[in-house]
Amino acid sequence: MIERWWRDAVLYQVYPRSFADANGDGIGDLAGVAQRLEYLEWLGIDAIWLNPVHPSPNVDWGYDVSDYTGIHPDLGTLEDLARLVAEAGARGIRILLDLVPNHSSDRHPWFRERPDFYVWADEIPNNWESIFGGGSAWTFDDERGRYYLHNFAPQQPDLNWWNPEVAPEFERILRFWFDRGVAGFRIDVAHAIFKDRELRDDPVIPGLGMRRRYSMFRPETHGILRDWRALAGTYDPPRLLLGEAYSLDVEQWAGYFGDGDQLDLAFAFMLTHADLDAEQMRGAVADVEAALPANAWPCWAGSNHDIGRLATRWAGGDDARTRCALMMLLTLRGTPCLYYGDELALTSGDVTAERIVDCATPSRDPGRTPMPWTPGGGWTDPWLPLTETSRNVEAQRADSDSTLHFTRHLIALRRRIPALRSGRYQEIAAPEGAWAWRRGDDALVALNLGDDPVEIGAIDGSIALSTNRSREGENISGNLTLAPSEGMIVVAKA
């Protein structure tokens, strides 16, 4: 059903500066993404989410937007984006952009020309703290003689959504990009658009710290999401709204779907923040399944530009455990989103102190290092260091036993077997250290995330994909034995 194409899709996050460099200046660009569409089509990707591509002073590398309807000259032009949308579309790949509605750059003309678009106070009114490095979320502006709010960096003033003129500006921005064929948006900090009108203190709970009750998570935000969903629905096909509704409270998170009238997808960070541990992950998925409103659809990710790479964080650089993580992400009920390099089991890069460019502490740069295309990297003097290239596209594409080929086969299997995309999720009994579930009536996924071999009983079917690739095609009737860090997909016999 084209209106909900994202339910069957595999999304792929591209950090533009680090993906592919077409002009050799060391900075990835839109033309570079276009040059790699053949690779992404071969891999089986359905849509690309681009981190911000707009003009920006790059204090927070694009998340401090100075022009919401332009393209940063480092990355290309509006014509380059139009070409990318068209060429990706010809390959059946959609393009999503990043929308940053919580704040702009202090270099955006609005900050000086329309100060009423921002949140101001004559004195620091509350205890709100900046997420980037702590300290007060209020900074004094010499020109205005007042304090302005910034939940992130001081150069990222928060917008005042209580001003009725802000919402029409963002509707204009959405229409600008929707009219140019963009398939939708990932919405940055979708939970924080509105602030408490009275600017009340956030509660501080002993031992737990600040609870962001008034600086974020305000109920008025749901009205904006409903308006955007209605706007997205006026297009054919409807445009996608994918939210970064960053709450680990599953009930609060689930509220951002509304009654099917708010977000289409929302990242389920409850899983992302779990260890690669059967009990933790099983519990996180069960909580999400229980909290989801009827017909709502989660989005699963193990890596992104903020949290780093799953091959390091979850798997400690181990390829077998990384394959287990990829098998999990691509077979749970929901839409998976891979971060560039996940398919290679790419680990976090080595960024020395003198090379750090991130404004946040700790630095997120190790998770943003360039994509290694060749054994030598395929870059000239890249903007972030590329020091380890043993996991690269050229070598893995030539090796049928590589993690890249494993990921490609996994995506193809997901596409071929409807139960792996749309079948119900049903957890089944598994020994300690293992996690197993059925998708519909035709597929079973079993992962051994423990240190000892396990057996999962009452299995009848054929092994369609194995993380070690050696047992594929084997028929199982009875117990399925899994070695440590091994995963398998068993499908009903034809």
pLDDT value at position 2? 57
Compute the distance between CA of residue 233 and CA of residue 239 in angstroms, rounded to an integer.
7
pLDDT value at position 1? 43
Does the annotation count 474 as an active-site position?
no
Which residues share a beta bridge with 94? 47
3-state secondary structure of 14: strand
Compute the distance between CA of residue 312 and CA of residue 391 in angstroms, rounded to an integer.
13
Compute the distance between CA of residue 381 and CA of residue 26 in angstroms, rounded to an integer.
5
Enumerate residues 6+ apart whose C-beta is below 8 A from 322.
310, 311, 314, 315, 345, 403
Which residues share a beta bridge with 481? 455
pLDDT digits (tens, 9 = 90+) for 351-387: 999 999 999 989 999 999 999 999 999 999 999 999 9
Q: Which of 452, 454, 490, 358 is nearest to 62 (CA)?
A: 358
What's the farthest any 2 CA atoms get from each other in the chain? 75
Compute the distance between CA of residue 371 and CA of residue 349 in angstroms, rounded to an integer.
10
pLDDT digits (tens, 9 = 90+) for 4-57: 899 999 999 999 999 999 999 999 999 999 999 999 999 999 999 999 999 999
User: Is 2-103+164-416 a CATH 1.10.10.1100 domain?
Assistant: no
Does the annotation count 244 as an active-site position?
yes
Q: What is the pTM of this model?
A: 0.98
pLDDT value at position 447? 98
Q: Which residue has the tokens 């919401």?
A: 68
Q: Where are the domains of the chain?
A: 2-103+164-416, 424-491
The CATH T-level fold of domain 424-491 is Immunoglobulin-like (2.60.40)
3-state secondary structure of 223: helix
Show the tokens assigned to 50. 């681009």
- What share of the chain has pLDDT > 70, as a percent? 99
The residue annotated as part of the active site, out of 21, 202, 244, 342, is 244
The residue annotated as part of the active site, out of 21, 188, 289, 486, is 188
Neighbours of 226 (CB within 10 A): 14
- What share of the chain has pLDDT > 90, as a percent? 96
Mean pLDDT of 253-269: 97
